[in-house]
Amino acid sequence: MLQSGGSQSSWVRQYAFYFDSSSCSGCKACQVACKDKHDLPVNVLWRRVYEVAGGSWTKSGNIWVPGVFSYYVSMACHQCAKPICGDGCPTKAIYKRQDGIVLLDTEACIGCRLCEWACPYGALQFDEATRLMTKCHFCFDYIDAGKPPACVAACPMRALDFGELADLRKKYGTTSQVFPLPEAALTEPALVIKPHRDAPRATKDTAEVANWEEI
Amino acid sequence: MTGLAWKEWPLVGFTVLSQTAVGAFWMIAGASFFLEGASGWNSRYLTFPFLAAVVVVFGLAAAVSLFHLGRPWRAVFALNNLKRSWLSREILFELIFMALAASLALLVLKKAYRPTLVRMLVALAFTASVLFMISMAKLYMMRTVPTWRGVYTPLSFLGTALLLGSLGAALSYDVFLDLGRKVRPFLDAAAIVALAAVVLIILSLFLFAPGLGLFGTKKTTLLELPVVKMYPYLLSRLIFLSGTVLCFFLYYRNPGAPFLTLAFLSALAAEVAGRSLFYAVYSRLGV
């Protein structure tokens, strides 16, 4: 489980994920591929698929008009430019590689869980068996071997992609926040999202995460 | 997120006990510098049993905090990030305060010291304890956790230190060390500090407590605790605080161990309930 070292692509300055919320069918193949590849225990999910549900029915004359909506948000660690998890870490166990991947040195981690409290994406997760923190490390072993991360490779809808952040922004735009994610300015995530068409309607007051039990 | 209140019992224990020890030390430092003595110094309050008790309670707090860690035997690594981590700084000042308080206790025991040295050590230990309290508050005031971000966090820690510190110091001097009559001005000062602390705790609760206070954070995150689940903690804290005040008044009418002990125990229960609520309301931005 040690996440350190490894060769790395010298030309990449910041690896990032791209997520197409308009294509995601919520099948959770990414979540399962990640869990399988890293042999994650129960209660640890490095990639999670949030089901957002909102809206309501409105009455127009004698007719009830449906205004409900739902969409999916697949999230992992976003290898933030300002990783708040690492800022608070008392042991410097959390650090960024040259290519922007945020790694966790399990030999230095003391399991104080401060990073878990701080990360607004829920990316830092505690493993009750090892009594240590765990996190998505962008499948750096696959990256170093020239392969895509397991979640990206598993997506049947091609809703996930990865690459250099600047390239992804050029290709897909600069959106990195949709409900229920926090303000991007908090940690500057290396993430590009193509929002679902109903995402602008979703706020804390009009929508909710409908599958907390699963994540 | 209610489970957090019970899951974090080591942190409830650590914060309440360490703040009690720090508050008691503040009382003694204050008494030594400000109560009587034209020279501006009075060493009557610096007794070995009291200083030893401060070190033991503080050490116990540190020991309890280890139960919070996944790998307690690696705790020493926690000093590695003094540049950026408030937790590293908290632990540094914790160690410095404990070392200074232990040195003071030994000097007082040996009675082989110069007053200037003791005054310097008291001032240094006081400074370390203040920095410890600031670091402890800052580490919780993360920009992603609005329920801990506000002024309630430092006020709550200060309230615990003043309430349990003053009552603990009064209890030590009046009951265990049986110096009641000789240290009357000190007991009066402790009474004023304890009552001021109760006022501070209640005001900060109703003004700034997350989810409850008039100016506290309202619902800003998806994971927030429903207010109704906070009521049992709030109610038990208020009942125990009322018990503390009542016992303290009874103690003043009938000086002696029973009422002062009851006042301290009631205050301890109030602060444990309050700190449990503090951890229960943890809620971060995002998911």
| Radius of gyration for chain B, computed over Cα atoms and rounded to the nearest angstrom | 19
**Using an 8 Å Cβ cutoff, are A143 and B103 in contact?**
no
Residue B231: what pLDDT?
87
CB contact under 8 A, B87 and A113: no
Question: Is the Cβ pair B287, A112 closer than 8 Å?
Answer: no
CB contact under 8 A, B287 and A180: yes
Q: What is the pLDDT of residue A13?
A: 86
ipTM greater than 0.85: yes
Between CA B62 and CA B54 the distance in angstroms is: 12
Q: Do A118 and B142 touch (CB under 8 A)?
A: yes
Amino acid at B197: A
Nearest to A12 by CA among A167, A187, A211: A167
> Nearest by CB to B88, which of A90, A121, A187?
A90
Query: Both ends of chain A: CA-CA distance in Å?
Result: 22
3-state secondary structure of B218: coil
**pLDDT tens-place string over residues A85-137:** 999 999 999 999 999 999 999 999 999 999 999 999 999 999 999 999 999 99
Residues from chain B that touch A91, judged by Cβ atoms under 8 A, are: 74, 77-78, 80-81
Beta-carbon pairs below 8 A across chains A and B: 107
Query: Where does residue A61 fall: left (phi above 0), alpha (psi -120 to 50 degrees), or beta otherwise?
Result: left
**Cβ–Cβ of B70/A90 closer than 8 Å?**
no
The C-alpha atoms of residue B200 and residue B206 are separated, in whole angstroms, by 10
- Please identify every stretch of chain A with a pLDDT value under 50, giving residue numbers as ranges: 1-7
Nearest-Cα distance to chain A for B145, in Å, is 7
pLDDT of residue A2: 43
Among chain B, residues having any CB pair with chain A shorter than 8 Å are 68-72, 74-75, 77-81, 84-88, 91, 139, 142-145, 219, 222, 282, 284-287
Best CA proximity match to B198, nearest among B263, B253, B135, B142: B263
d(CA A42, nearest CA chain B) in Å: 17
**Cβ separation of A122 and B69 shorter than 8 Å?**
no
- A90:B87 CB<8 A: yes
- A188 chain-B contacts, CB cut-off 8 A: none
Mutation pick from A82, A117, A177, A213 vs chain B, by most beta carbons of B within 10 Å, is: A117
**Per-domain residue ranges of chain B:** 3-280
- For residue B145, the cross-strand partners are none
For B3-280, CATH number out of 1.10.10, 1.10.3470, 1.10.1740, 1.20.1630 equals 1.20.1630
Looking at residue B37, its pLDDT comes to 56
pLDDT value of position B31: 87
Query: What would the 3-class secondary structure string for A88-123 be?
Result: HCCCCCEEECCCCCEEECCCCCCCCCHHHHHCCCCC
Residue of B nearest to A206 (CA): B222
Q: Do A132 and B71 touch (CB under 8 A)?
A: yes
Per the document, the length of chain A is 215
Q: What is the greatest pairwise CA distance in chain B? A: 60
* Residue of chain B whose alpha carbon sits nearest to that of A131: B70
Q: In what order do the strands lie in the sheet with A15-20?
A: A160-164, A15-20, A191-194
| Per-residue tens of pLDDT for chain B, all 287 residues | 445 567 899 999 999 999 999 999 999 999 888 776 545 556 677 889 999 999 999 999 999 999 999 999 999 999 999 999 999 999 999 999 999 999 999 998 887 677 788 889 999 999 999 999 999 999 999 999 999 999 999 999 999 999 999 999 999 888 777 666 667 888 888 999 999 999 999 999 889 888 888 887 776 777 777 778 888 888 999 999 999 999 988 988 888 788 999 999 999 999 999 999 999 989 899 98
- Contact criterion met (CB below 8 Å) for A4 and A105: yes
Residue A126 with chain B: CB contacts under 8 Å: 70
Query: Which DSSP symbol is given to B174?
Result: I
